[in-house]
Structure 1
């Protein structure tokens, strides 16, 4: 293929690069185009959440144009939460604010933040929503921050592969001189799995205590709580401490996890 040096090593999954998570992608051709964009930028790990037309998909391989290795290593998940459970930094691409209070980056800033996070030995990924509607509010709430691409406001729509290529390009161009961001004291960033376990427990107790009222506002309250805790970039120790707080309050009131 023109412009390709096949003597160079291809990108491999599981390396020090962000995971690309495609949520409910609709067309195999688009998945293949994303794989090509990923390999252009040395990104090797793709995760698919409930692809509409199933997986594997021959149309994806035809469109990948040499990036078949990315497709062969792609993993499929039923839910977005499952797909990001082992990650401890998740960025969500979205064209709208979704009325959620989160850190927001342009692609170049996002690449620097991700580069520093991975340089510290942690894992991270970038969420891309389905072609027509993008990510749902609850999926954006799972992320630590959002990525917004400032384009012509009269025509700001990107197709899926364009979005992946744009973020991938900024990642590839981000130099190794990015200052490493570290937490003072000890503690590893909590994984999405551990964060969500705590938040599910908290929501259950708040439901039992009558806090999630009225019912029609409960989903919004849950998203606000999730954004509040995720903005804090909790460590493993933070999560353990918060579990202890909940347990102490339950014991004080003569209750236990139900």
Structure 2
């Protein structure tokens, strides 16, 4: 598949129908996997009609994870999507910019996770700490929120275009030379945890919000 090392991660999804539509989007764009993090409801029979025949296989393989950290643990690049800006949400990428980073990671043989928050509120501040990069889809200011499946489709479309532009079809990826292994998100979490503990013991991090300054 065109995006065979990319997984869609849906956090605390509320409606199975949106999962079905996301599965159809994944099938359309050659993305093989969906992982649900603590979904409010996961009912395959409600998702199935909106997945269409092409998305049924993806519904059969849906993974469910209790935490976002575990869901993205094997990925070296984790991109979170957000409609909000400011505060911790800085250096936001446009979808095309994010897609080029995805294509570069895939060319190196790395796993990628694209993370989407709940339909009603998006990713919260704690959840975005598990994402290395944040992406925002420019919309009209009067209607900034996209349907979940629409956002999934748009991001995967940009990623598929970037992969094609980089000449990374399935045949080219199969023949790509092996390079050094990239660190995974799980390993990065352990590193940051150790760094935080050390800086707290040195009293370098202090105040009411040490995570922000970290």
The TM-score normalised by the length of structure 2 is 0.85
Q: C-alpha displacement at 1:173, in angstroms?
A: 2.5
- The residue aligned with 1:123 is 111
Identify which of 135, 150, 167 aligns with 1:147. 135
- Bigger relative CO (Cα 8 Å, ≥ 6 apart): 2
Separation (CA, whole Å) in 2 of partners of 1:171 and 1:202: 33
Identify which of 166, 186, 190 aligns with 1:178. 166
Bigger-Rg structure (1/2):
1
CA deviation map 1:154-181 (0-9, x unaligned): 212101011001111212223534289x
**Contact map agreement 2:77 2:111 (CA 8 A) in 1:** yes
The TM-score normalised by the length of structure 1 is 0.72
Q: Given the alignment of the two structures, is residue 132 of structure 1 paired with residue 120 of structure 2, yes or no?
A: yes
**Contact map agreement 2:5 2:110 (CA 8 A) in 1:** no
The correspondence of residues 53-92 of structure 1 with structure 2, limited to 5 A, is: 53=41, 55-66=42-53, 67-92=55-80
Identify which of 163, 168, 175 aligns with 2:156. 168
- The residue aligned with 2:199 is 206
**Contact map agreement 2:89 2:134 (CA 8 A) in 1:** no
Unaligned runs of at least 5 residues, structure 1:
1-10, 181-185, 226-258
Q: C-alpha displacement at 1:200, in angstroms?
A: 1.3
Q: Aligned-pair RMSD on alpha carbons?
A: 2.2
**Contact map agreement 1:103 1:144 (CA 8 A) in 2:** no
3-state SS of 2:200 partner = helix
Identify which of 202, 209, 220 aligns with 2:212. 220
User: 27-36 or 165-174, which moves further after superposition?
Assistant: 165-174
Separation (CA, whole Å) in 1 of partners of 2:66 and 2:18: 19
Separation (CA, whole Å) in 1 of partners of 2:204 and 2:209: 11
Separation (CA, whole Å) in 2 of partners of 1:59 and 1:110: 32
**Contact map agreement 2:92 2:133 (CA 8 A) in 1:** yes
Separation (CA, whole Å) in 1 of partners of 2:79 and 2:115: 6
Return structure 1 stretches of 4+ with deviation > 6 angstroms. none
Separation (CA, whole Å) in 2 of partners of 1:190 and 1:98: 28
Separation (CA, whole Å) in 1 of partners of 2:140 and 2:90: 23
Q: C-alpha displacement at 1:38, in angstroms?
A: 1.2
Q: Given the alignment of the two structures, is residue 44 of structure 1 paired with residue 36 of structure 2, yes or no?
A: no
Unaligned runs of at least 5 residues, structure 2:
169-178
Separation (CA, whole Å) in 1 of partners of 2:159 and 2:15: 25
